[in-house]
């Protein structure tokens, strides 16, 4: 089949809404000369990418199997069934004490952060295997630094980490690389302005509600890495043939060292001041 992508290498990225990591990755891969399939669950959030040559915009909700199937059909038709890079970037956050979390909300988070990634990977894997390509999963420092009030986000990213490393072993015999990006903080829309976290009336964590809102607002990310800088480093790694784990973003390198050498109680003291836990005892 003749490819419409003119023999360029190709990459598909999930979650490319304006202002986020996915959008910055799309722009950076485009600058490096790849054909980019930029996807998001809402096309209107990718309007800023519309005019770029060699960028195809596709609607893709990672929790909707029909949406994933439609996307793979378009990519297959345009590339002749080949994709060099798949970037599983979509993700959501959930700030709430573990004991107060509605289980349905936690399941929805896992539907995006873990199961969506699994579904997209399974559907696109034949195209990646066809090129001996690379799958990149965006995980988080949350895998290792489990901030209070983010129990299910932390758990979903730990699951992404375990899934990615296992997949790496299982795809190695087919020449496919799998990269897990342990991302430090990046200034994006994942941090949203909220006045307060809606705790249940009988919550025993009310005294820390201000600090919880601070986490949702991204109080800790002020001055952290811009998406474009983060994307440049990750794309450099990926195009240089990285496999396994890479640590990128603000605090990623120091966090890696701390995680390796410090005992848990020291890590807790150093990393979670201002969480509001001290107000509860
Ligand atoms: N920013 C950080 O400091 C940081 C740190 C570590 C890891 N990460 C990870 O980096 C990734 C990108 O996040 P970001 O910081 O760039 O946040 P973001 O700006 O909120 O981007 C998240 C993207 O995921 C999309 N998404 C949410 N639900 C989806 C679904 N059902 N189907 C398809 N896409 C969906 C969002 O779409 P909508 O715009 O429609 O919601 C958005 O495009 C996430 O996996 C996040 O966990 C971020």
Residue located nearest, by CA, to atom 44 of ligand 1: 91
The Cα 53–Cα 25 span in angstroms is 15
Per-residue pLDDT of the chain (281 residues; tens, 9 = 90+): 456 766 799 999 999 999 999 999 999 999 999 999 999 999 999 999 999 999 999 999 999 999 999 999 999 999 999 999 999 999 999 999 999 999 999 999 999 999 999 999 999 999 999 999 999 999 999 999 899 999 999 999 999 999 999 999 999 999 999 999 999 999 999 988 888 899 999 999 999 999 999 999 887 667 789 999 999 999 999 999 999 999 999 888 888 898 899 998 888 887 777 889 999 98
Dist. CA 49–CA 208, nearest whole Å? 40
What predicted TM-score, i.e. pTM, was given to this entire model? 0.96
Is 259 a catalytic site residue? no
Asked whether the CA dihedral 179, 253, 208, 148 is positive or negative, the reply is positive
**Are the beta carbons of 95 and 145 closer than 8 angstroms?**
no
What sections of 51-102 are H helices per DSSP? 65-79
- Of 45, 78, 157, 177, the catalytic one is 157
The Cα 71–Cα 59 span in angstroms is 7
| Domains of the chain by residue range | 10-275
* Nearest atom within ligand 1 for CA of residue 142: 6
Ligand 1 pocket: which of 90, 146, 153, 185 to mutate (most atoms <8 Å of CB)? Answer: 90
Closest C-alpha among 198, 200, 194, 190 to residue 214: 194
Has 163 been annotated as catalytic? Answer: no
Does the beta carbon of 211 sit less than 6 angstroms from any atom of ligand 1? no
Instruction: Tell me if 19 CB under 6 Å of ligand 1.
Output: yes
DSSP, residue by residue, 123-190: HHHHHHHHHT-EEEEE--GGGTS--TTBHHHHHHHHHHHHHHHHHHHHHGGGT-EEEEEEE-BB-STT
> Which residue has a Cα nearest atom 33 of ligand 1?
61
Q: Considering only CA atoms, which residue is closest to atom 3 of ligand 1?
A: 185
Q: What is the dihedral of CA 129, 247, 150, 228, to 10 degrees?
A: -90
Span from the CA of 4 to the centroid of ligand 1 (angstroms): 29
What is the chain's Cα-based Rg? 19
Of the options 3.40.50.2000, 3.40.50.300, 3.40.50.1820, 3.40.50.720, the CATH number for the domain spanning 10-275: 3.40.50.720
């Amino acid at each position: 089949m003749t490819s419409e992508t003119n023999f360029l290498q190709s990459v598909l990225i999930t979650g490319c809404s304006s202002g986020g990591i996915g959008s910055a990755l799309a722009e950076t891969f485009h600058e490096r000369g790849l054909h980019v399939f930029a996807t998001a669950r809402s096309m209107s959030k990718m309007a800023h990418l519309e005019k770029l040559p060699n960028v195809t915009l596709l609607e893709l909700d990672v929790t909707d199997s029909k949406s994933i199937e439609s996307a793979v059909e378009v990519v297959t038709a345009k590339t002749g069934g080949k994709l060099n890079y798949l970037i599983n970037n979509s993700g959501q956050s959930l700030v709430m004490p573990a004991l107060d979390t509605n289980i349905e909300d936690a399941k929805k988070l896992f539907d995006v952060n873990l199961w969506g990634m699994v579904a997209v990977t399974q559907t696109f894997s034949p195209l990646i295997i066809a090129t001996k390509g690379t799958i990149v999963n965006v995980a988080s420092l949350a895998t290792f630094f489990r901030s209070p009030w983010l129990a299910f986000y932390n758990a979903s990213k730990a699951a992404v980490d375990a899934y990615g490393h296992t997949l790496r072993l299982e795809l190695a015999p087919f020449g496919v690389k799998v990269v897990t990006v342990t991302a430090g903080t990046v200034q994006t829309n994942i941090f949203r302005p909220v006045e307060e976290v809606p705790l249940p009336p009988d919550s025993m964590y009310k005294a820390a509600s201000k600090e919880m809102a601070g986490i949702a607002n991204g109080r800790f990310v002020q001055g952290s890495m811009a998406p474009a800088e983060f994307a440049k480093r990750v794309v450099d790694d990926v195009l240089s043939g990285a496999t396994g784990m890479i640590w990128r973003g603000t605090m990623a390198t120091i966090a890696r060292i701390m995680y390796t050498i410090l005992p848990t109680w020291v890590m807790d003291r150093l990393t979670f001041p201002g969480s509001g836990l001290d107000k509860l005892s």
